[in-house]
Structure 1
Amino acid sequence: TGEYVRRGRRLADIYAPDLITAQRELQEAARQTTQPALLQAARNKLRYWKLSDEQIEALEKGGDIIERFPIHADQNGFITRRMVSVGDYVKTGSPLYEVADLSRVWVVFDAYESDLPKIKIGQEVQFSTPALPGKVFTAHISYIDPVVNPKTRSTAVRAEINNAGQQLKPEMLVQGEIMPATGSLSAASAKSSTALLVPKSAVLWTGLRSVVYVQVADEPAPAFEFREVELGERIGDMYEILSGLEAGERVVTYGAFAIDAAAQLNNQSSMMNRLLEESGGEEKKTEEQSTPDYREQTPEAFKEQLGKVIEAYLLLKDELVAGEAEKAAEHAQKVLDRLGEVKMELLKGDAHMYWMDLLKGSKKQARAIADSGDIEAQRKAFAYLSAHLTEAVKAFGISGLTVYQQHCPMAMDNQGADWLSTDEKIRNPYFGDAMLSCGSVVDTL
């Protein structure tokens, strides 16, 4: 493989008894001049075998029967795959070689579904590859896959480009940028000059709204404020801000996730706290509230019982990593059983009421997982369950376990979500094998 061949080059010889029989039939029909239809049928049969008219004419005149049938390349290109060896038996229609004409190639990109309304057939795309630093190629979109990949939430966008110098190779990694259509370029430029824009890297995702961190003015030390914003259109590497920011305010463009993680550890307003607000319960956690610390007054027996809940939760997490919906439902039921065994009367006063609120939300989400056979629905409920149990561990503590709070910023449609694990190594329960190592450790509990 890898050899360049020209059209017509002999690639292989095949011995075919049926071909020998067909040639003999032609010579017999040629001798029977009274049956021209039979002769024409014999000729057509050999044409089906890809014999040329010159070879057929020679056979009619009594030429030697071809015992080994030559196979020739039908186009110029590189042999990229050989599917037979000497002496193999092949059936009619079996492929022998793959010959790829690399003078013109396809370039396939993955485009997020949110960007699809802005992508059109014929748009210019500029792309580069790490194999050729500094080299930028230009092509035009020729095809947009009509189906979105349910795991990556992206679709394939294909462009075609001449490759006369053979610089682009099959399976090369490329990164591209789709250029605005000529007719809309001026409009986009005009809009970007008047709209309030922030870099894409400044935005964290949480629910229907999004989050940025804004620098607090007139503070002696650097301080940042959690701010929800409403996004408009994406313009290049920027997002339009419809509400939530004022012109002149300074936002964090790099490192916003680290600030959010620090805010969460300090029980301050953060992106992750939004999950608790959405997940259910009588008294939902709000941005102004923080996780109370009842660990010193929590009896050891309660911590042990909560530890049993976390042990069942960890088994549920492992099944979501493996993508096993049926087994995940079984382990969710075990989480419900362990939650039912926790003796709430061991807690008093505010601690008791706080646990009752977390218990209600935890049971609701565990029941949703147990009753569902859909892995994606289970993973969504698991994000809310994880938020409740993380709060419980922080508030009351557990015995016999060291757990790590881990975070994936792409979970929940880029909202981000946490989970608990006894292993520092990331094994993502929200994407499984699709993005197994996506995430980071944000706290040790």
Structure 2
Amino acid sequence: MSGETRSFLSRLLKPSSIFVLLGELVVVFVLGFAFSQFWGGSDAPSAEASAEHDHAAERGPQLWTCSMHPQIKANKPGKCPICAMELIPLSTNTGPVTGLRQLVVSTAARALMNIQVTPVQRRYVEANVRMVGKVDYDETRLKRITARVAGRLDRLFVDYTGVQVNEGDHMVYIYSEQLYTAQQELIETARVRKAQADAAGADFFATGGIDLLESAREKLRLLGLTQEQIAEIETREKPTDNVMIYAPMGGIVIEKLKQEGDRVNTGDRIYTVADLSQLWVQMDAYESDLIWLRYGQSVTFTTEAYPGQEFRGRIAFIDPVLNDKTRTVKIRVNVDNTEGKLKPDMFVRAIVQAKVAAGGRVIDADLEGKWISPMHPEIVKDEPGDCDICGMPLVRAESLGYVSSKAMENTQPLVIPVSAALVTGTRAIVYVEDPKAKEPTFEGREVVLGPRAGDHYLVRSGLKEGELVVTNGNFKIDSALQIVAKPSMMTPEGGGGHQHGDNASSGTPPKLKDLPISIRQRLIEINTTWQHIQNAAEEENLDAVQQHFGKLKEVVQSVDSSLLAEHPKMLWSELSMLIGNDATEGQTVKTIKSAQQLVGELRRDMQRLDEQFGLAHAESLPQKLVVPAPFQQQLSSLWDAYQKMGDALASDNFPEAQKAVQQFEQSMKSADMKLLTDNKAHRAWMKEQKNLAAIVESLKKTEEIRAFRAQFEPLSAVLQVLAMSFGFGETEPVFLLHCPMAFNNKGAIWLQDNSQTRNPYFGSTMLQCADRTELIAGEKPDAAEAISKDEE
């Protein structure tokens, strides 16, 4: 430090200097404040700051949540107390989370992602099946000219291939020793016949009943001579050295296998003649396109030789064997070629336009109501009859896989654009927009696809008509879900393989006994059906597997998810979607190998269902017992006393509740268990009677309403068992209601004979507190009865 600096600091730190400095600072502050007020300054915040403050106030406090456990809410960042994942910010104005695959974005973000949606429609679509192939000979119109006798070909009148011949044209001049001998036999036999005819008394039986002359003629006919040639030999009475062979049909000579002077044996081929007025077109169809192809379908194709000109034919044969190397099937089309433009081995490009109806069925307007030949598809008539070519009876076109458009007017297939599906095999991930949400909200959906028809996929399950599916931007939505570790196409179970079944309050799977009765019943039925599917798959019984998969789908669809709330509801939505898709595929599985693979997929989903909803406790559900009507009538008085007890608690009337206990005890003791002839029912009543007696004793000892309400909860549990196992009458309705806030949010149930909530645990404080109401026994009263009872 220099001397001048040290001298300056010493003067500055003198007491007198410090006071002077403070005084100057005060003056500067006051003057600055005055000038700011004079020049328009204010103690109010700036417009930007005010707007930001208002926006923050509108947003509310920032919350943080877990992407895997959305029930977790925190006021600051940190780790999830369940899975230890980092919490992510949650916007408070996005509304409640309703699905595990849900994504909410801002309007600006949606515009940046360029998200576009299209409604799911029911409509007819066209599947354009494109194929390539070659023109080929019609095998039924190929004829081989063969040597019927051994001999020497002295002359071939058709001496090169490609010659057009007509039926009856001379083709071969053959010398044959066998033919010469046969001619001589005919001539001699004719002479003998003539001599016998001139001799008196000669008759047919002199030759042993055999017409030797006719036999000689037939022999020559079988050796290839015509009737005219045979007659000429008889008239001439002299055999010839050479015999002419004529063309048996018209056509083009496509093969010449012998030369003049060659020796031939019986059966040797000399020529092959093809009739080119009718041809075949052999094409290859991909395995995935076979669903759209039918016998008799019209096919349009073009050739290199005639660009722009279309030829037509009909499918006559679909090869039953698949080429395992090319994964294609041969398709044969019959084509008329009377103009002669088509040549064998021409390359063709073909297209079949199939109009698709529900279930992947095909509509063909040209064949609607028609009759068609089962061997020659070009023969189509308006009325039944016989085929003009083969004589077989015509059959209805509908019997060959076609469907009438009139019969399908109200069953158009459910379709989505191809761009909407993120395909993962036979299934796909589709994102559906919620049009009622305040901000752009999208939900992932796993759907089962049918075949592709042009620019659309047929949907077998997972979507409804009118829902808005994302056709552009779905990959971006999927990526966003992956970032926040939610189920997506690439991570079906969410990031890190976490399970999504944590209970909304405790972070543990919900117990089966805490679920609504109807939900429990359906889950048990699902588990039972799953056991049947496994057994059928092990026995390799394909029909049984399909049948049980169909039953599984019915049970899954029958679950009333409205009885669930919050995270359990989201969880069931996810699992029911997956299990339902398994069932949809299982109904139409084609091979036992495919069925066993599908059972493996279902096993994983059932394991998740067991982990999340506790199917291991399925035996805790009360079972219906065989109970005589007189015993049910006795229990009805018990039921009346219970209802009086509940009404008294709902009215905060403790004395009336105590009186109802006395009536309840008397009804319980007067029940005649001798009426229970079924041993299982008898044992169940003895068990429940013992439980009731203990609870009644506790109720009698209570001195205030709070303790009474605590004992009313186990009493309700026993009455629930009685209602479901014994019943209070065949039609007596019993409603189970649940209060989630009773006993420090542990929850409790109670029973009523109607669905009008009257909470016995809170009384007038929260009389209408109930998160679910369900009918567990008897029949639900109609509206008129309910109104009448309320008026009373």
Q: TM-score, normalised by structure 1?
A: 0.47
Higher relative contact order (CA 8 A, sep 6+): 2
Q: TM-score, normalised by structure 2?
A: 0.28
Structure number with greater Rg is 2
